[in-house]
Amino acid sequence: MKALGWLMVIGLIAWGVISAQSNSVGSNGGKTAAVAFTEPPQALPLSGPMGIENPGVAPLTITTRNDGYNYFVKVAHPGTTQSVSEFFIRSGESVVTQVPLGTYELKYASGKTWYGPVHMFGPETSYSKADTQFDFVDNGYQVSGYTVELYTQANGNLRMSGISANQF
């Protein structure tokens, strides 16, 4: 009987310790507090090549609306984060470039305040990818290229999907 009593006492003590630990986590329900973003804003780069740029022959023009959102654009191998070309486009501006022949995905990060190539547009960065791939080919007579307008418009034909920062 004494052994049963001691087991009950030990059980109550263990329950009390576990309860105290779970209550001491804090008022946020056990969630880790968000770390404040403290990186200083940087000056916006000029619209044009940034980082990776491979010489190409296929024309690519990308235009943005003057709405305060800037873009860091990647032309990447499908299904990867490996870029063949990267460039920055300021709000309301365009970039005219040439990319290597091949099939690529168009990805972009967008936002208003630039924190540099590591932090992009900070915690407010929006990452997107075109739902279709772009085929830049030379058929012997001409080289195919594209003009992309990165803004919503009636009857637009380019669908975009949100992606994570890791997929960018």
Does a structural domain hold residue 148? yes
Maximum mean pLDDT: which of 8-17, 23-32, 134-143:
134-143
Does a structural domain hold residue 83? yes
User: Domain range for residue 110?
Assistant: 48-167
**pLDDT surpasses 50 at 20:** no
pLDDT in tens, 127-149: 999 999 999 999 999 999 999 99
The domain that contains 114 carries what CATH number? 2.60.40
pLDDT in tens, 42-96: 999 999 998 776 789 999 999 999 999 999 999 999 999 999 999 999 999 999 9
Does a structural domain hold residue 22? no
Positive or negative, the CA dihedral 124, 64, 79, 114 is negative
Specify the 3-state DSSP secondary structure of 46: coil
In the chain, the percentage of residues whose pLDDT exceeds 90 is 68
Does a structural domain hold residue 96? yes
Does a structural domain hold residue 95? yes
What pLDDT, on the 0 to 100 scale, is given for residue 31? 58
Quote the pTM value: 0.76
pLDDT in tens, 89-132: 999 999 999 999 999 999 999 999 999 999 999 999 999 999 99
**pLDDT surpasses 60 at 10:** no
Question: What is the total count of domains within the chain?
Answer: 1
Q: What is the dihedral of CA 156, 100, 119, 79, to 10 degrees?
A: 70
Does a structural domain hold residue 43? no
Does a structural domain hold residue 4? no
